[in-house]
């Protein structure tokens, strides 16, 4: 179902009139984690003003350490809803397990399945029964073929609205958090009709590398970006080191507008 051989035209996903895929560049931005109403509203208004179309923010967080901040849970989802009402931006948020699927599905416009869950097959099957588009992130050490097979799990259950996301893979290089596999974009464009976006924040783990890799992503033909933004990155409860301040995000938006019409 994901194979371009049997579906030559690009899939274009329409969310409240905003399009993802087929040459429409979608920008999703916001904090790694929802931390408070003030934090989320400040960031949401800032990214909207710079031209982001979708608001990202995690309420259920897949943290490497069980002692790290795990997210605000349903309280965080309620704040995302408030931010959507205030800005009009549709919400992208992660769903981590089947137990919390229904509640996340109620609030989200796009359901994110994180890198660590790319091969959680029962979760993929549940996502396939949803009416909401799924943002499927590539696993930390997954091949492109494996990513496409995971998309197939979702589509086989009836949900054809899958957005793929390259977010860096684990290699021998340790300078960056992961290694951005930019070639995943043309490879996926050849193999599949599904939209493919890039997450330069998790790919590098370093805010200073987010802008150059965003430009590269758009130039190589990605259908969009998902970027972490925080007004006080030094105080962020997760992923501060890779979060752009709103002013830097505004500069990034200007830079990528020169490469592609957004």
Provide the binding-site residues for ligand PEP, judged by CB under 6 A. 32, 58, 62, 114-116, 137, 167, 199, 202
Which CB atom, from 17 or from 174, has the smaller least distance to ligand PEP? 174
Shortest separation between residue 186's beta carbon and Mn ion, angstroms: 26
Cβ-in-10-Å burial (0-12, 13-18, 19+) of 224 comes to buried
Shortest separation between residue 39's beta carbon and ligand PEP, angstroms: 15
Shortest separation between residue 86's beta carbon and ligand PEP, angstroms: 22
Which CB atom, from 177 or from 193, has the smaller least distance to ligand PEP? 177
Q: Which residue is nearest to Mn ion (CB)?
A: 32
Shortest separation between residue 238's beta carbon and Mn ion, angstroms: 6
Q: Is 239 in the site for Mn ion (CB under 5 A)?
A: yes
**Residue 62 site contact among Mn ion, ligand PEP, none (CB < 5 to 8 Å, cut-off depends on kind):** ligand PEP
How many CB atoms neighbour CB 37 within 10 A? 13
Phi then psi dihedrals of residue 194, to 5 deg: -75, 150
- 224 and 27 Cβ atoms separated by less than 8 Å: yes
Handedness of CA 134, 82, 243, 220 (dihedral sign): positive
Shortest separation between residue 3's beta carbon and ligand PEP, angstroms: 24
**Residue 189 site contact among ligand PEP, Mn ion, none (CB < 5 to 8 Å, cut-off depends on kind):** none
**Residue 177 site contact among ligand PEP, Mn ion, none (CB < 5 to 8 Å, cut-off depends on kind):** none
**Residue 166 site contact among Mn ion, ligand PEP, none (CB < 5 to 8 Å, cut-off depends on kind):** none
Contacting Mn ion (CB under 5 A), which of 13, 20, 26, 32?
A: 32
Number of residues assigned to the chain: 262
Q: Which stretch binds Mn ion (CB under 5 A): 64-72, 190-198, 237-245, 251-259?
A: 237-245
**Residue 184 site contact among ligand PEP, Mn ion, none (CB < 5 to 8 Å, cut-off depends on kind):** none
Which CB atom, from 148 or from 180, has the smaller least distance to Mn ion? 180
Q: Which residue is nearest to ligand PEP (CB)?
A: 114
| Residues near 5 by beta carbon (within 8 Å), at least 6 away in sequence | none
Q: Give the footprint of Mn ion on this chain (CB under 5 A).
A: 32, 239
């Amino acid at each position: 179902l994901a194979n371009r051989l049997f579906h030559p035209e690009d899939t274009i996903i329409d969310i409240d009139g905003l399009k993802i895929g087929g040459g429409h560049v979608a920008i999703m931005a916001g904090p790694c984690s929802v931390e408070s109403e003030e934090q989320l509203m400040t960031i949401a208004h800032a990214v909207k003003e710079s031209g982001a179309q979708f608001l990202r923010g995690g309420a259920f967080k897949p943290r490497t350490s069980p002692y790290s901040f795990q997210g605000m849970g349903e309280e965080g989802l309620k704040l995302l809803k408030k931010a959507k009402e205030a800005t009009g931006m549709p919400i992208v948020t992660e769903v981590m397990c089947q137990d919390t699927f229904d509640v996340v599905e109620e609030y989200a416009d796009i359901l994110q399945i994180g890198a660590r869950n790319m091969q959680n097959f029962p979760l993929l099957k549940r996502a396939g029964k949803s009416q909401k588009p799924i943002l499927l992130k590539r696993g930390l050490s997954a091949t492109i073929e494996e990513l496409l097979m995971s998309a197939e799990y979702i589509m086989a259950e009836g949900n054809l609205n899958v957005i793929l996301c390259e977010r860096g893979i684990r290699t021998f290089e340790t300078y960056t958090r992961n290694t951005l596999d930019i070639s995943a974009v043309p490879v996926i464009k050849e193999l599949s009709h599904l939209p493919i976006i890039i997450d330069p924040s998790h790919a590098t783990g370093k805010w200073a590398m987010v802008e150059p890799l965003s430009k590269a992503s758009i130039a190589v033909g990605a259908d969009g970006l998902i970027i972490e933004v925080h007004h006080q990155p030094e105080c962020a409860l997760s992923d501060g080191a890779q979060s752009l301040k709103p002013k830097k995000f505004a500069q990034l938006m200007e830079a990528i507008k020169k490469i592609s019409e957004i």
